[in-house]
Chain A
Amino acid sequence: MDHQNAGYLNVYGPPSASAQFPYSPRGNFAPVSPYLNFDPAYLAQSGPEWIFPEGASRQRGRFELAFSQIGGSVMTGALLGGFNGFYTGLKETAAAGHVGSVRRTQMLNYITKRGAGIGNTLGVIAVMYSSFGVIFSLVRGVDDELNTVSAATAAGLLYKSSAGLRRCAVGGALGFSLATAYCLWTGRDRLQQMFSPSPA
């Protein structure tokens, strides 16, 4: 509100300095709507603010992240497998003495086969991990590191479940250790706070 307009709404008295900024913490509360008449100290001054729908959690759920994780795994696997196939194909076709279109087709076969194979493997593991994670977080009602670790262990167990007890256990242990390492890495700040001697 500038001074030309101030006279129009100003039915309570001459415009004062605080009328310019009606949300002042003390003093002239009168000229503004009672709904705007509050102490700005109640507004959070620092830190990001979000409005969450009622009952919504404060972080993105596992289901929301699941598809991105699965897609990322598939793409990473396809990329790694593609490079591996390119390298192997280059070596093998040179050793076999292929030239021209035969070599090109053979190279394409190597790249697509290896890429698809590793991509599918990683993708299936990611699907298992994500479904276990979603199920655990739904059942327990909270989403924390315990879900991550147990989902990874269960995914490892399930992926190797038809290869014999021993390999099944190895798969589960691999999932457990990977997830534990991940959780220790992402939660290192909290761990540091927990174990460091308090400054006071």
Chain B
Amino acid sequence: MKKNLRKTLALFLAGTLSFVLLSACTGDTPSSSNAGSSQTPAGSSEAPGGARDSATLATSGEPTRFFPCGAEGSNGNDYLVLNNIYDTLVFLDPDGTLKPCLAETWSVSEDGLCYTFNLRGGVKFHDGSAMTAEDVVYTFDLSVQNSTGKALIINYDHAEAVDDSTVKIYLTDPYAAFLNGCASRAGGIISKAYYEQVGADGYQKAPIGTGPYQFVSAVSGDTITLKAFPDYWNGEAAIKNVYIKTMTDASTQIIALENGDIDAIRSPAISSCLNLNEASGATWASGDSAGRVTLHISSNKGQPGENTDFRKAVQYAINKADVILGATEGYATRIDIDMCPSYSGHPEGYKVVERDTEKAKEYLASSGYQNEEFQIIVETGTVSDTAAQIIQSQLMEIGINCTVNAVDTPTFNDMWYAGTYGGMIRNTSSSLLDADGFLNFFMATEANYAQTLNNQHARTKEIYDLGMEARKAQGDARKELYLQMVDICTDEAYEVPLFASTSTMAYRADLQGVKIYPLGVVYFYDWS
């Protein structure tokens, strides 16, 4: 009897164990309990008539913030969702032109300190309420309180709702690219009433905007579901259901695309695109990006770059053509100043340094270089990483003891902020697509940007002062100021701009309307 009891108990325990484990099956695919994705979103369903009614996009960086005015701001990944749920006052086309969006017309005062927007009528939020000027004012006031807002909506003072459909925004100083800021992710218009009702947390959980798509659900690490807003002021979107899937592994993304499990991949690496099997119905496209890859040389005490001649040696030693070929398969555009050609305010006639190994060696000799280590830090696995390795061999050719330290992002940030590196290569984008983006990230003297605190060059203040002027200037005068700034950088060889990166998208060939946006976002409204 005792023996039987033991046996039974053993079997029971083993059974319970397996049952508990396999009962995860019944809770299986908990995504099915979340609205919308029980029918596996793999692949798109064709509506009768041949047009597709849903699309699935894979992204490696997961969007997590759906409320742009939260205390922590937002990043480029979040933009993927924000772009489609919220509308901005003006819309930035891929070619850089500003188009009306929520604002039908606008004007700027003579002194550049007041912008007047005439709002479109009949715009509804996803909950059915009407959008008014109050919402715009409220949005701007709230947005500039977080660091993203502060960085993108520059020189903001206050806003006024003149009447229900007119808003005046006042600046402390003129800023030439203010409209770009309005068009950025910090300018997505939120509903004041809704915010007052649910607060930041509630807004994050169930966001509403005026954009072409409504938020349905977000399953962390899995899928974000959007559906077309039927009452969108510009007409309902062609693609009714959008699924944004987080897929971190690049080869899985490619296989899924070729297999038809997904319809598009956001920002795939160029090498993946080139290896795409076109026969499977997948294709890819690229366009200008808002980001540029630049080598920044530290002139901090103790680093080889402290000596100007050393920096010049590096500047002359680099063969940008080879770097572009090796890191981007030749798809990127060479740059000689730390700005993308598409930025507004981009100067002309600036100094250009062509590669000259003889000159480089001369500079190196006169710098008194004693074979100290010149360490270039990069984020591991990025295009910058590959570029750094190519540059390393070029520098070693002229006799510089160059090493590459590829680290993960948090470590990279730490080292960058602390200024403990010889050189640093980074892909920096300006969310404003404006020349000003060149400035504060690397050439600031105030504590506005923490990363510049330990990375001050001798002439940083000079550049920064010019930059503050340039913010307020307009037109050619503005360009002239930027010209001076970039020439100083070139003369001093504080940095060696390498190339403007390309924005890529891989997608199923039968997907229409795919446009490449410089900031790497996807505007599903275009698609059909």
Q: A and B: real partners?
A: no
Question: B-side interface residues toward A, CB under 8 Å?
Answer: none
